[in-house]
Amino acid sequence: MKKIALFADVQNLYYTVRQAHGCHFNYAALWAEVSAEGTIVEAVAYAIDRGDPKQRQFQQILRNLGFDVRLKPYIQRSDGSAKGDWDVGITLDVVDAASRVDQVVLASGDGDFDLLLQRVIERHGVEAVVYGVQGLTAMSLVRAASRYVPVEGRLLLRN
């Protein structure tokens, strides 16, 4: 049975799915689709903590699915911009996991991860699958992946 590590960039998924489809991402459908290919031996969802009750409820749903939810505090800068970037944390976790699994699944459209996927494919021989919103996923990330899966259909939670 294939061993799989699943990494979800919650902020990227939230904003790209909302922009392209006007709804939310279906994490349960992602879990079901990925687990159909093998055993998920680790799963991490990276999110920003604003401390609001609705967000805490969402984080608990992710935990109930099997995700380890990692949180960074939401930081509002004096110039009005916000900070809450998980790129380095995701990168470190993917590199660590690549030596223990057969497949790395990254749910994000962020092109900053293209070199990461190239590296884990070359050095560890893992399959690197990207789930991202079509048209909002960096082409460099799509090209770097072993396989790209567009976020559509049952991967969307429509009200």
State the Cα–Cα distance between residues 133 and 19, nearest whole angstrom.
9
Kindly report, residue by residue over 16-69, the tens digit of the pLDDT: 999 999 999 999 999 999 999 999 999 999 998 888 899 999 999 999 999 999
d(CA 59, CA 63): 6
Across 108-136, average pLDDT: 97
Q: Is pLDDT larger for residue 72 or for residue 155? A: 155
What is the maximum span of the chain, computed from C-alpha positions, in angstroms? 50
Residue indicated by tokens 């009200």: 159
Run of H or E residues at 127: strand 127-132
Average pLDDT over residues 153-158: 95
CA–CA gap between residue 136 and residue 120 (Å, rounded): 23
User: What is the phi/psi pair of residue 104, to 5°?
Assistant: -110, 130
Cβ atoms of 5 and 104 closer than 8 Å: yes
What fold is seen in the domain 3-42+83-157? Rossmann fold (3.40.50)
> pLDDT class for 77, splitting at 50, 70, 90?
low
CB contact at 8 A, 9 and 110 = yes
Strand, helix or coil for residue 76: strand
Q: Let me know how long the chain is.
A: 159
5 burial via Cβ count (<10 Å: 0-12, 13-18, 19+): buried
Q: Global pTM?
A: 0.94
Q: Where are the domains of the chain?
A: 3-42+83-157
